[in-house]
Amino acid sequence: MKSPAIQAVFGGTAPLGTLPRTVLTALAPASWGTTYVVTTELLPPGHPLFAGLLRALPAGLIALAITRTLPRGAWWGKAAVLGVLNIGLLFPMLFLAAERLPGGVAATLAAAQPLVVAVLAVVILGESPSARRLAWGATGLVGVGLVVIGPDAAFDLTGVVAGLAAAASMALGLTLTKKWGRPPEAGPTAFAGWQLTAGGLFLLPLTFFVEGPPPAIDPPAVLGYLWLGLVGSLLAYVLWFRGIGSLPVTSVAVLVLLSPLVAAVLGAVLLGQTLGPVQLAGFGLALAAIVAGQLPAPNRSSAPVAAPEGISK
């Protein structure tokens, strides 16, 4: 019999309050914050497509083997679209940006995602425009920039385009995931498996056509691929898609700011990079944006009414 904690993560049926759901969802972008240090320190350079393929396809097949649940009807097409946006395009663009740009520049470009989601929530989900969401999204972007962009930052055009494409792809995938929901027969593990497999199959022919034979893989690279595949993909996307289904889309989007913050901390701890007063101030701004993004919008009614305790939006 599964424990409530395991069922809450992989099955998605155990009831959880808003704070536990938010914390579990936040673990996904926190794990993605390890991508930069793993890519630069453990993986063979020059193979971003191969890295994305190994991060996606094995994890997706494992999830399908665990759940033994396949899409039905229109969900074959929807799963393919979401898999390409959330995985197939996102992974190689992230790896390419990480290789062509300093980590700070790549992370700041990715931090534009909450702003894109705030716009797409209006266009695709029909939500009302919110200056508050845009303001906190911009605050988070500035905070991340202060944390991770140094005075010697370089702007490679290919890397910049890849970073912006990654942010746009993830934002559109997140918004469409919220719009389409999740079919009742699929838990978060199966849902993650569909998309990881679809994204991996999208990358499979592209990888060998563009990059040719795979690189030599040494023991450190094996560890890097295992970490990115099992933790950064399989576990992280189960948590991520579970959170998207139960939390407001803009609240989930701003959690992505945790990724560059974790990357900066790892750079300081593992690579000897320093965090001065400016970086610490940026940390404060980014964390404030993350917290503010989890708060419900102010009540616009003329007569303030206290919401019953325990009810969240």
For residue 3, is it within any domain? no
Question: Which pTM does this prediction carry?
Answer: 0.81
Q: Measuring CA to CA, how many Å separate 231 from each of 56, 238, 250?
A: 11, 10, 24
Q: Supply 267's token pair.
A: 């750079």
> Domain limits at 73?
25-293
Residue 210 lies in a domain: yes
Residue 312 in domain: no
Question: Tens digits of per-residue pLDDT, 73-95?
Answer: 999 999 999 999 999 988 788 77
* 227 lies in some domain: yes
DSSP assignment letter at 154: -
Domain total in the chain: 1
- Residue 270 in tokens: 């593992």
Q: Contact, 108 vs 46, CB < 8 A?
A: no
The tens digit of pLDDT for each residue in 194-246 reads 999 999 999 999 999 988 898 989 999 999 999 999 999 999 999 999 998 88
How far is the C-alpha of 237 from the C-alpha of 25, rounded, in Å?
9
Q: Which residue matches tokens 């649940």?
A: 69
Residue 6 domain flag: no
